[in-house]
Amino acid sequence: MTEFQPPVPPPPTGSTSTPATKPTNVWDFLETLGDDAKQRPEPRLSAALSGLAGLLLTIGWSALLQGDSSSVGGLYAGTITAFGAALAIMLKLTKNADLRAAAVGAGITSLLLFCVTFIGDTEMNAGLGLILTAVLHVVVWVLPGFRGRSIFLGFAALALIFGLSSAIGGEVLTYDRCEELYYSDEEVPEECYEDNLYSDLPGEVGNFLGKQGVIYMIAGTALILGVATLDRRGYRGVGTALIPAGMVAILVGALLMAVRMANAGAGVLAAIAGLALCYVGSRGERRAMTWWGAAMTTIGVAGFFLGAFTPDTNSGISFAIIAAGGTLALTPYIIKKAAENKATSNTSTD
């Protein structure tokens, strides 16, 4: 007599499988992006040219619809239709890498052009408009279609930095803007009677720039430290997108601070920011970032000595530059000795 064997239950179907967990923090979200977050895109000639082709096609299409009209309705129509076509390519129509690169170029161009047109058309505060532009770019980076395309995150970071500086730091008074104040009932600030590096900028640029260089310096340094964290966790693709915004912020901040304070003080801040760039770039094996940081450090150290001693002869300038060179030469040795002392201290403690 054979023993009764109960039937084996069927394997679970797809409908009863465990659902995928939703991201609960930023690191979980970056993990869902896969290789787009972890790897820097390989440079390809065809992809670069395709992306620029998308840029030109978007600008040309929007200009064609705008025509000679004084209304901006054509620009709205052009940017919205261009973004829609690019989004459709990314979502449905093709897996061709070059066509998708063109779609990304068209998408980022149409989004930026739409935002700039909207800010000018509504005459909203430039700082607020740039902050909203940053939020919109982050939304596009998160949602399907352009999800994970880090160029949107990079432009979002840049717009956020300029927006915060413009909103908090106040308007840069260019020559054009000061001329408007001369013929108005408003009080003309003393800054309008000073000649500085941004006096000759177009008037509209002043609305978007802001004049508090320290905001740029802080935001740029924070971005660079964020890149270091992303590199350490393996998300080099996302980190790469934030580097241009950080470098531009530090450069603009150093220039603005050179206008508003003594060159020596601005030189010290520029040198510190440059060293931070160098450190993060060397640790992350990023050549361009390392060399940019080295250049910023050099300019900062030279600016410090020239500003501190204010030489008025060729010999004095020469000695200041030699002192700056000597300081730069000693800096790596000092950093190395400090690292060795720290390692020795940690070893003795253990």
Cβ(240)–Cβ(40) under 8 Å?
yes
Please give the torsion angle defined by the CA atoms of residues 49, 55, 59 and 60, in that order, rounded to the nearest 10 degrees: 30
Cβ(327)–Cβ(301) under 8 Å?
yes
Cβ(27)–Cβ(233) under 8 Å?
yes
The reported pLDDT for the residue numbered 26 is 79
Give residue 310's region: left, alpha or beta (phi > 0; psi -120 to 50).
left
Block mean pLDDT (10 aa), the chain, length 350: 53 48 73 78 84 94 87 90 93 81 94 92 86 93 89 91 79 67 71 57 50 75 86 86 85 70 68 82 80 84 81 83 88 79 70
The reported pLDDT for the residue numbered 132 is 93
The reported pLDDT for the residue numbered 14 is 47
Cβ(247)–Cβ(289) under 8 Å?
yes
Domain limits, the chain: 45-123
**Minimal CA–CA distance to 23: which of 33, 15, 37, 36?**
33
The reported pLDDT for the residue numbered 16 is 47
The reported pLDDT for the residue numbered 18 is 45
Q: Could you give the C-alpha distances from 61 to 65, 66, 110, 260, in angstroms and in order?
A: 6, 9, 10, 42
The reported pLDDT for the residue numbered 350 is 59
- Looking at the chain, list the stretches that DSSP marks H as alpha helix, in order from N- to C-terminal side: 26-32, 35-38, 45-66, 73-88, 97-122, 126-142, 150-169, 175-182, 203-209, 213-233, 236-260, 263-283, 287-309, 314-349
How far is the C-alpha of 290 from the C-alpha of 247, rounded, in Å? 11
The reported pLDDT for the residue numbered 349 is 64
How far is the C-alpha of 229 from the C-alpha of 241, rounded, in Å? 14
Cβ(162)–Cβ(210) under 8 Å?
yes
